[in-house]
Amino acid sequence: MARTNRPSGKAPPLPLAPRRKSESRRPLVEPSSSLLEMHLQEIQEECRNISGYVRTLRRLPRSSKEAQAADAQLYAALTHLENHAGPAVKEWERVMDGAVASPRQKSRARGRKEVA
């Protein structure tokens, strides 16, 4: 193994999963919002990374430095996934609620509820 000028104790980061050329840039859901699309793209990318870290951990001895690095990166990826999943669900609900009723219909419905 070639030596590098990395500080001791730090393993090199594992490569991230490459984006597939076949992935289109069209929205994943219709209707959509740029915020929802950003969260969904981050989730998709992080899921690929998590899958790679899990494969790495399954093939390496737990005591190896590479396994320890993959373990740390898996934790970071899971945390990153969690940070995007919650907001994605909220934005999904907001977007889908808007798809069912137009803002004018929602305003009228709110007005009826207040009068009743």
Helix ranges (H only) for 60-102 are 65-100
pLDDT of residue 53: 95
| Residue 44: HSE in the Cβ half-sphere, 13 Å Cα cutoff | 14
What the block records as the tokens of 111 is 């007005």
Cα separation, 29 vs 21, whole angstroms: 20
Instruction: List pLDDT tens digits, range 78-98.
Output: 999 999 999 999 998 888 887
Structure tokens, 70: 């993959």
Distance CA 22, CA 112 (A): 48
- Read off the pLDDT of residues 99-109 as tens digits, 9 standing for 90 and up: 765 555 556 55
**Other CB atoms within 10 A of residue 111 CB:** 10
- Give the best-scoring range by mean pLDDT among 10-14, 36-40, 47-51, 104-108: 47-51
C-alpha torsion 69→60→74→2, nearest 10: 30
- Residue 33 is predicted with a pLDDT of 86
In this model, does residue 62 exceed pLDDT 60?
A: yes
pTM for the predicted model, two decimal places: 0.60
Q: Can you tell me the mean pLDDT for 68-83? A: 95
